[in-house]
C-alpha cells in the first residue's frame, strides 16, 4: 500500500503557448528521482544554489519520514515502546493527522499504521525471500495495526500510540507532501510557474500548462491519457513495478490493511488529480485498495478527479470520474 509507484507518470513538453524555456533540475531523494522545472523569475534563481537548497529540504524530509533509516524521526517513533506523547516535527504531525482523516473516510482501507504488514511481506527495509507469509503471521501483524491507535496533535507537535508496538509508514502521502514542500519553496523564492515531480507524484504551480501522461501499466502499450496540468497535482498508484512471484502467483506491494494481503482486484492503476500532491498521492493509494467498484463510488461521491484503469482480459478499460473528464482534457 505504501511504496509509491515511480514510473507511471511522465513529464512531457510544456504547452507551446508559453514560449519561455523552463530551467530543469534533477536529483535523487526519498529512494527515487526528482525533477524540478520552472520559469526564471526576476531576479533569476541560480540553478546550482537552488539544486542544493532542494536537496537539503528533501534530505530533511527523508530524515523525518524514512522507514529505511534506523535513526529517522519516524523510525525512532516506531521503535519507542511507550504510549506517552512523543515530540515530533510539525511536518510529521501534520501528515499523521491528514492520514487519519483519510483512514476515517475510507473505513480503514487506507491505514498508515500498516508498517508491520509491509515489513512482513518484504516490501520495506527487510526484503523477504521464499514463500509469502503464513495466515498466522498475517494475523499477528494485523493485530498490531489500526489507525485509531495512532493519535496526533499540532500544538506542540507530537504523536502518541495507544499500543506500544504500533508502527507507522507514511510513504503513501510523504512523497506527495515533499513535492508540495518543494513547490512552496519555489514560490517563496519568487517562481510563479513550476513543476515538481518526485517519483510518480507531480505538483504544478501557476497558469502555465505542463503536458503530462498516464502510462498504460503494461509499459510498452500506448499512453492511456495525455493532458495539460496547471496549478494541480497528479499521482498514480499501481503495482506494476514492485512485486514478487511465488509458485506462479504474483504478489503486488500495495497491501490491504483489512485483509493483511496484497490487493487482489482487476485494477491496474488509479490516477488522481487534486489541489495538493499530498492529497493526490494518498487518495490514489486509498482508491487502489478499495478497488474499481467501491473506489469509484467513493471518488464520485467525494467529487474527486480520478481515472481507474481496469484489466478486462488482455485489454484495459478506463473509467474516469466526471471531475477527471473535466480537468484532464
- Three-state DSSP at 208 gives coil
Q: What count of other Cβ atoms lies within 10 Å of the Cβ of residue 261?
A: 17
Q: What is the pLDDT of residue 222?
A: 64
What's the CA gap between 33 and 122, in Å, rounded? 22
Q: What is the pLDDT of residue 138?
A: 97
Cβ atoms of 112 and 145 closer than 8 Å: no
- Grid cell locating 148: 485509531
The overall average pLDDT reported for the chain is 91
Phi-psi map region of 172: left, alpha, beta (phi>0 left; psi -120 to 50 alpha): alpha
C-alpha dihedral sign at 245, 249, 250, 251? negative
- The string of pLDDT tens digits covering residues 14-54 is 444 445 789 999 999 999 999 999 999 999 999 999 999 99
What's the CA gap between 59 and 153, in Å, rounded? 24
Q: What is the pLDDT of residue 15?
A: 44
pTM for the whole structure: 0.92
What's the CA gap between 306 and 324, in Å, rounded? 5
- Which domains, and CATH codes, for the chain? 9-61+177-327 (3.10.520.10), 73-171 (1.10.3980.10)
Please confirm whether the linkage preceding 40 is cis (ω < 30° from 0): no
Q: What count of other Cβ atoms lies within 10 Å of the Cβ of residue 138?
A: 19
| Cross-strand pairs, 70 | none
Please confirm whether the linkage preceding 156 is cis (ω < 30° from 0): yes
Q: For residue 13, what are the CA distances in angstroms to 8, 271, 276? A: 16, 20, 22
Question: In what helix (H) or strand (E) does residue 256 lie, and over which residues does it extend?
Answer: strand 255-256
What's the CA gap between 116 and 127, in Å, rounded? 13
Q: What is the pLDDT of residue 313?
A: 84
- Grid cell locating 74: 519516524
Q: What is the pLDDT of residue 16?
A: 40
Q: With cut-offs at 50, 70 and 90, classify the pLDDT of residue 242.
A: confident
- The string of pLDDT tens digits covering residues 264-291 is 999 999 999 999 999 999 999 999 999 9
Q: With cut-offs at 50, 70 and 90, classify the pLDDT of residue 223.
A: low
Cβ atoms of 230 and 277 closer than 8 Å: no
Q: What count of other Cβ atoms lies within 10 Å of the Cβ of residue 19?
A: 6
Q: With cut-offs at 50, 70 and 90, classify the pLDDT of residue 243.
A: confident
What's the CA gap between 211 and 222, in Å, rounded? 16
Cβ atoms of 116 and 137 closer than 8 Å: no
Q: In the block, which residue shows the cell 537552488?
A: 50
Amino acid at each position: 500500500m505504501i511504496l509509491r509507484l515511480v514510473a507511471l507518470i511522465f513529464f512531457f513538453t510544456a504547452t507551446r503557448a508559453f514560449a519561455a524555456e523552463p530551467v530543469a533540475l534533477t536529483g535523487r531523494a526519498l529512494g527515487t528521482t526528482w525533477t524540478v522545472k520552472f520559469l526564471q523569475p526576476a531576479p533569476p534563481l541560480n540553478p546550482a544554489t537552488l539544486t542544493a537548497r532542494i536537496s537539503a529540504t528533501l534530505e530533511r524530509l527523508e530524515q523525518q519520514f524514512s522507514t529505511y533509516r534506523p535513526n529517522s524521526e519516524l523510525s525512532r517513533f516506531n521503535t519507542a515502546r511507550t504510549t506517552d506523547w512523543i515530540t515530533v516535527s510539525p511536518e510529521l504531525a501534520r501528515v499523521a493527522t491528514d492520514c487519519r482523516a483519510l483512514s476515517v473516510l475510507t473505513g480503514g482501507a487506507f491505514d498508515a499504521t500498516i508498517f508491520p504488514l509491509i515489513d512482513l511481506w518484504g516490501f520495506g527495509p527487510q526484503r523477504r525471500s521464499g514463500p509469502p507469509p503464513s495466515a498466522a503471521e498475517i494475523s499477528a501483524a494485523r493485530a498490531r495495526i489500526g489507525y485509531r491507535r495512532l493519535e496526533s496533535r499540532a500544538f506542540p507537535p507530537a504523536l502518541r500510540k495507544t499500543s506500544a508496538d504500533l508502527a507507522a509508514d507514511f510513504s503513501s502521502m510523504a512523497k506527495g507532501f515533499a513535492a508540495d514542500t518543494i513547490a512552496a519553496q519555489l514560490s517563496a523564492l519568487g517562481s510563479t510557474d513550476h513543476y515538481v515531480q518526485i517519483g510518480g507524484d507531480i505538483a504544478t504551480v501557476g497558469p502555465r500548462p505542463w503536458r503530462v501522461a498516464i502510462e498504460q501499466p503494461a509499459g510498452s502499450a500506448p499512453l492511456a491519457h495525455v493532458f495539460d496540468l496547471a496549478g494541480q497535482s497528479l499521482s498514480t498508484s499501481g503495482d506494476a513495478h514492485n512485486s514478487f512471484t511465488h509458485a506462479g502467483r504474483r504478489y503486488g506491494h500495495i497491501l490491504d490493511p483489512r485483509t493483511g494481503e496484497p490487493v487482489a482486484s482487476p485494477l491496474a492503476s488509479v490516477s488522481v488529480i487534486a489541489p495538493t500532491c499530498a492529497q493526490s498521492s494518498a487518495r490514489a493509494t486509498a482508491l487502489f485498495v478499495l478497488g474499481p467498484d467501491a473506489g469509484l463510488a467513493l471518488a464520485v461521491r467525494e467529487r474527486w478527479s480520478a481515472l481507474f484503469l481496469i484489466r478486462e482480459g488482455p485489454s484495459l478499460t478506463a473509467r474516469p470520474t466526471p471531475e477527471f473528464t473535466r480537468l484532464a482534457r
